[in-house]
Amino acid sequence: MSRMKLGVLVSGRGSNLQALLDAATDPTWPAEVALVLSNQPGVQALDRAAAAGVPAAVIDHRDVAARAAFEAALDAALRDAGVELVCLAGFMRVLSADFVARWFNRLVNIHPSLLPAFPGLDTHARAIKAGVRWSGCTVHLVRATVDQGPILIQAAVPVLPEDRPEDLAARVLTAEHRCYPRAVAWLASGRWTVVGDTVRLADPAPVSRRVHLNPVG
């Protein structure tokens, strides 16, 4: 079976990278991580790639004078590795509209909220402050506007009365690790199309694209 080649962009711990690496150990999973790129040297994500025997490199944005040159270096490395789908996994750089266009519908992100609610940073603190009963994560195709794009899958987790941001973050992260490999498998299967701002699956998986975890009694 031919497996889709993934390029994963990281900036930190790489726990979602690890979820993809773990999924790729199953020979029936339709993708493999071909390259890991970090804009930060010395991060744990690079150690995870090394432990899995996956090629990895650092393209430090601070060493490049202009964003266009930084993104050109990313693009060249991805294409040289034969990458077919780019996965953002805690990549803390906003990509330009030009880069997004070059990888249109081949660039996917995971965000720690139920988009369109709470785009951007500090999602967990904002969710708690807003008093919402549910939060979660969203895997979506990337568009030029930050944290927007056709949604592939969401998972909902409860926001408990005693939650601190770090408590909610841990609960959401568990959901992320389940959702990202599932969404990538759908993309790698080729059984999807984008109609307007909606992703349609030609042969939907037998589970819902919105999953509730740890429901409140």
Residues tagged active-site: 111
Determine the Cα–Cα distance for residues 190 and 203; give it in Å rounded to an integer.
10
The contacts of residue 127 (CB under 8 Å, 6+ apart) are 113, 117, 118, 135, 159, 168
The contacts of residue 141 (CB under 8 Å, 6+ apart) are 105, 107, 108, 109, 149, 150, 152, 194, 199
Q: Tokens at residue 51, please? A: 């432990």
Q: Tokens at residue 148, please? A: 């927007």
> In sequence order, what DSSP letters do the residues of 145-209 get, joined into one string?
STT-S-EEEEEEEE--TT--HHHHHHHHHHHHHHHHHHHHHHHHHT-EEEETTEEEESS--SS-S
Helix axes 165-189, 123-130, angle to 10 degrees: 120
